[in-house]
Amino acid sequence: MKQERSIQLFEKAKTLMPGGVNSPVRAFRSVGGTPVFMKRGKGAVIIDEDDNEYVDYCCSWGPLILGHANDKVEKAIIDTVKNGASFGAPTALENQLAELIISNHKYIEKIRFVSSGTEAVMSALRLARGVTGKSKIIKFEGCYHGHVDSLLVKAGSGLVTFGESSSAGVPPAYANETIVLPLNDEEKVKSTLEKLHTEIAAIIIEPIPANNGLLLQSHKFLLHLRELCTQYNVLLIFDEVISGFRVGFEGAAGLYDIQPDIITFGKIIGGGMPVGAYAASAKIMSHVSPEGPVYQAGTLSGNPVAMASGIAQLTECLQPHFYQELQHKTDKLVNGIKQHVQSKGYEITIYNIGSIFWFTFSDMKHLTRADQIDSGKMTLFNKVYHYLLENGIYFGPSGYEVGFVSHAHSDAVIEKTIAILNSAFDKVFAEK
């Protein structure tokens, strides 16, 4: 595998940007080696600066549900940018995207567009605090909600762990506003709310936790969160930056039929352009400025080019059978590797929900909490990762990252992936 140009570009990048990247995981620190610099993508395939080709299961970390450079998305972006890139004044495109989403999503009535998932979460927390007049937030260990100060916290031990920041530069006072609990543990949520509900504004959860492996929660646990939030006047925030428009147009709210108080969106909503959003009932959203006292603004919010891209992509997601087809493709991939792994008796756990999938080296059938992931076995993932890369398959560069299947992944591409993944497993277990 040629790498000269990626190596050169990375050396240069390191002189210009911290770690040579604009988002840390891209630096390949987890899997080792040099990050691959990409120059082009079409459908399920991406091509790097050394002209190596890969089938892509990172899909820009989730946004590209139609694959790369989809013709309709590309046309919408080009047609729109010809009229100007930004006005800082309202455009009809904002109405169009808002209406497209709201009229097809029964769990929300009003939406506010921002420019990233982090911004969406940050704004949702402020809104929850503004509505309830309370300050503390419960989050779950293993859920990532962007680099919002008060959510960059890790859990310690004990029933209720007040956050300790996992990033320098976060004042302890901010981290102290966050309570971190283990996923899928009804009792801990209940006892925490019993004790502290007068201080807690919201519970935020990725209803399909997909940032620390894929830690699927029981429906019962999610329903329990809903009931407790209602009982204690605490808002339930579903962070659907990954799951929104991914496991169905109505995301996890629709899949589980649970009404959250606020939903955050990102990734797919912008068709690959920088868009995030938060949405809720008209009553809750009436607290947002200029209607209400919760201030939130953005120079590029609702940017017309980004809106056009989102409209084009979400219109495709609404086509009949779109999600069934995606599910079918992903089931094919997952079943193809599951059968091999089972027949060989390898200790690998593989599962998927909709078009999100994950495999990890474990003898547990189903992992629901972050502490169940065997970090010691990530060295095996790293070996698999490099074998895949050398054989033309690109995953997010960490064993904690999930994979995404796009509509552009054909049966042939999936069959090729199954064969390469299975031989990667054979190789790693033969060496063990």
Ligand X SMILES: Cc1ncc(COP(=O)(O)O)c(C=O)c1O
- Of 274 and 392, CB closest to ligand X: 274
Residue in 136, 139, 188, 267 annotated catalytic: 267
- Of the candidate residues 48, 206, 250, 401, the single one contacting ligand X (CB under 6 A): 206
Provide the mask over 306-335, with x wherever binding to ligand X is found by CB under 6 A and - wherever it is not. ------------------------------
With CB atoms as reference, the residue minimizing the distance to ligand X is 117
- Of 131 and 210, CB closest to ligand X: 210
Shortest distance (Å) from residue 320 CB to ligand X = 28
- Of 121 and 414, CB closest to ligand X: 121
Would you count residue 241 as binding ligand X (CB under 6 A)?
A: yes
Query: Of the ranges 74-82, 142-150, 338-346, 401-409, which one interacts with ligand X (CB under 6 A)?
Result: 142-150
Contacts to ligand X from residues 143-172, by CB under 6 A? 144-146
Shortest distance (Å) from residue 243 CB to ligand X = 8
Distance CA 81, CA 178 (A): 41
50 is catalytic: no
Q: What is the CA radius of gyration of the chain?
A: 21
- Of 206 and 261, CB closest to ligand X: 206
- Of the candidate residues 52, 80, 116, 212, the single one contacting ligand X (CB under 6 A): 116
Tokens, residue 108:
């929300």
Query: Of the ranges 6-14, 115-123, 348-356, 404-412, which one interacts with ligand X (CB under 6 A)?
Result: 115-123
- Of 15 and 299, CB closest to ligand X: 299
Residue in 139, 239, 346, 387 annotated catalytic: 239
Shortest distance (Å) from residue 388 CB to ligand X = 21
Number of residues that bind ligand X (CB under 6 A): 15
Shortest distance (Å) from residue 39 CB to ligand X = 22
Shortest distance (Å) from residue 322 CB to ligand X = 22
Query: Within 10 Å of residue 136's Cβ, how many Cβ atoms?
Result: 21
- Of 20 and 266, CB closest to ligand X: 266
Residue in 57, 144, 323, 385 annotated catalytic: 144
Shortest distance (Å) from residue 1 CB to ligand X = 28
SS (H, E, C) the chain: CCCHHHHHHHHHHHHHCHHHCCCHHHHCCCCCCCCCCEEEEEECEEEECCCCEEEECCHHHCCCCCCECCHHHHHHHHHHHCCCCCCCCCCHHHHHHHHHHHCCCCCCCEEEEECCHHHHHHHHHHHHHHHHCCCEEEEECCCCCCCCHHHCEECCCCCCEECEECCCCCCHHHHCCEEEECCCCHHHHHHHHHHHCCCEEEEEECCCCCCCCCCCCCHHHHHHHHHHHHHHCCEEEEECCCCCCCCCCCHHHHHHCCCCCEEEECHHHHCCCCCEEEEECHHHHCCECCCCCECCCCCCCCCHHHHHHHHHHHHHHCCCCHHHHHHHHHHHHHHHHHHHHHHHCCCEEEEEECCEEEEEECCCCCCCCHHHCCHHHHHHHHHHHHHHHHCCEECCCCCCCCEECCCCCCHHHHHHHHHHHHHHHHHHHHHC
Tokens, residue 117:
């998932």
54 is catalytic: no
267 is catalytic: yes
Provide the mask over 74-113, with x wherever binding to ligand X is found by CB under 6 A and - wherever it is not. ----------------------------------------
Residues that bind ligand X (CB under 6 A): 61, 116-118, 121, 144-146, 206, 211, 239, 241-242, 266, 276
Hey, which residues are catalytic here?
A: 144, 239, 267
